Amino acid sequence: MFFTNPSDTLHYNGSEIGGVKKGDNLTTVVEKLLLEVDRLNSELAAMSRQTTGGSMSTDVLENKNSFGSAPGFRDSSYSAKITVTPKSNSIEVFYDLNDIGTGEKVYSRVIVDGYRNGVMVQLVDSDKMASGFLLGPDAFPATMNIELRRKSETGEMLVYSGTIPLSITMQSGNYPVFTKTMNQSDLKTQTDVNNFLYKEIVSIQNSIKNTITTPDGSKTVSQAVLDLKNEVEDVKKKDIASAQVVYRNGNGNVTKTLQEALDDIVSSVNSLSAKK
């Protein structure tokens, strides 16, 4: 026998963070958080196996993934400088990200996707803020994908992102990038992430009520289901046909069993039918 978990009727109404979305029921939220904990523990175990000379503390492991980020990018006032110059046998591409955002640079990555032998592949992967490279004419059409993270003086982490199509012909200009704020100022290390997930799980567990209100008062879900089962069993054991009923016929009020009353009704209907 299966009964609906009461947590399926309660929905998360907080801000979206990681894989947890507004509107998810609490069962789904707990499952997502537990999966995230399991994934992070697996990554930590893999890192520990690669470490020699002692144990690794989660306090020194930086949280560099997207967990804890705010959803949705918005327009920024910054742009990337890109210049494409055709050469005799190649295409020269130069980019500069130094004018994007302010604050300490935490992470930068530039990836160029294009064609090689007719197949779309990753042609360039760079972590430099400004650089240049050569592409063959057969690499086009190509696309440059930019991601840059900076930390402000207040500890706020800003992500800048942009996707710029590259032309095989002369191209030069400033191309806008988008930004979003990452809610990671309190989740800097693996320890911070683990503590955050633990507190979220405990909070959700405490918010789930295991009691319901019945005509007999407040009961646990298990007790209410058991009582309902017992009532059904009691009804099944009763001989309904032998139950006494009071009704009125041509002789006035009479008391008979339910089966006898039904027999009288059938007999009366048959008599009326025979007189037609």
pLDDT number for residue 16: 65
229 pLDDT above the threshold of 90: no
Domains of the chain, by residue range, sit at: 6-65+186-207, 74-182, 240-275
109 pLDDT above the threshold of 50: yes
Residue of 112, 109, 105, 143 lying closest to 128 (CA atoms): 109
155: left (phi over 0), alpha (psi -120 to 50) or beta: left
Q: Which residue has the higher pLDDT, 257 or 161?
A: 161
Angstrom distance (rounded) from CA 178 to CA 61: 28
Least confident of 82-96, 105-119, 147-161: 147-161
pLDDT number for residue 126: 93
User: Is the CATH number 2.40.10 carried by domain 74-182?
Assistant: no
pLDDT tens for 232-266 read 777 667 666 667 777 776 677 778 777 777 777 77
Q: What is the mean pLDDT of the chain?
A: 77
pLDDT number for residue 187: 60
Confidence of residue 5 (pLDDT cuts 50, 70, 90): low
pTM of the model: 0.43
